[in-house]
Structure 1
Amino acid sequence: MQYKDIAAGKQAFVFELDNVLYPEKDYLYQVYYLFAGFLEYTELLDAKVLVDLMVKTFEEEGRDKVFDKLQEKFKLDEKYRFNFHHLHKNAQLPLKLLLYHKMLQLMQEIVVDRKKIFIVTNGDPETQLNKLKQVEWHGLEKYLICYFADEIAPKPEPDIMLKLIGEHQLQRRDMVMIGTADADERCAQAAGIDFLLTEDILLT
């Protein structure tokens, strides 16, 4: 699906960040790399082995299990949990986060057409802001308006969308939300705006 297929009558496009504009693993894997380097220095552990375990745990069990698995395997002191979570919020990544190419094209066309782009993202606001700062936006950053849903109520609760609509005096029929998670779709429905799956854009 291309811009011309969804643009008719739409004046505002609302995107989630993770796994919509870029692959979230690109951020997490770099955090794991940095954390492994820290443990290699402090505990004399093999960084590659640590990274491999963290990536494997993420892929098979999800990110919430990553530190627990690492702690169990290497008998890490609980104090390192703070370092692990702190790094998620403040990591300075070795590499910029790259947008999905089709999302970059879509956003560029939206800007050329003088329409609005919003990012409404779930998750810890400090972590999400850190991600936003390290994306390679290709000059798009000055056109973005960002909202952190957790500051009010995480999606699927529609509170953040209602705030956005009110602050920018938008009509629901003029908006479309683009996301992947079930929470995004239910949020869009609750707010009374159209919804598109990320896959409909990336895979066509």
Structure 2
Amino acid sequence: MLKMLARAPLGWAPGPQRLVPPTPCAARHCLRRQALRLRQSCLLAPCAAAALQRTEQAGGGDGGGSGTPKRPHSSGGDDNAPDPFNLGRTTVRAFADNFLRLGGGAWLLLQITKTWVDLSHLLARTAGLDQATAPLRDELKASSSQLRADIAASSTQLRADMAAYSTQLRADMAASSTQLRADMTVLGNKVERLQVVVVGVAVLGAWLGRKPGAGRGAK
């Protein structure tokens, strides 16, 4: 809307109809009033002062006649003559540009502030999370240390048990071997005695089973 008004000539209003351009005196009075208003503004004071100075210089150089230069037309006239109708467009355009610059700067500052606030909240949450998880980390460290100590003790005890079991197994195997050899020796002696008894019984049976007088008859 501001850009449309800046591009429009003085005396034109948005709508289905266009207003008739004002008279030179009315236009000069309107321009002076606008320039005085804009000069009081802190943002547009340099622009309004320069525009008012250009308007006064253009009015004073006319020789005290109407005092307001006419709007140049394509049909004739001096094209290099100053156009007071450009003041409205210039001031509105300057106001729009300054407003857009200030708005863009304010928006950028707002975004930077918002980003900084979000980053601060994130850092605060991270610090709070770090503090909240500190006991858990300590507990995990203690648990891992205890687990490593238990595993080391269990492995040491297992190695000791395996060494004792292997020693006991070798001793048992040696004792069993010795006992087996002793048993085999005793069994061998018993077998030898049994053989002697069997042979003796056989000889005794043969001697008892011979016929009486068989030996004398043979002689």
TM over 0.5: no
TM range (shorter): under 0.3
TM-score (norm 2): 0.19
Say which structure, 1 or 2, has more relative contact order (CA 8 Å, 6+ apart). Answer: 1
The structure with the larger Rg is 2
TM-score (norm 1): 0.20
Return the structure number with greater strand share: 1
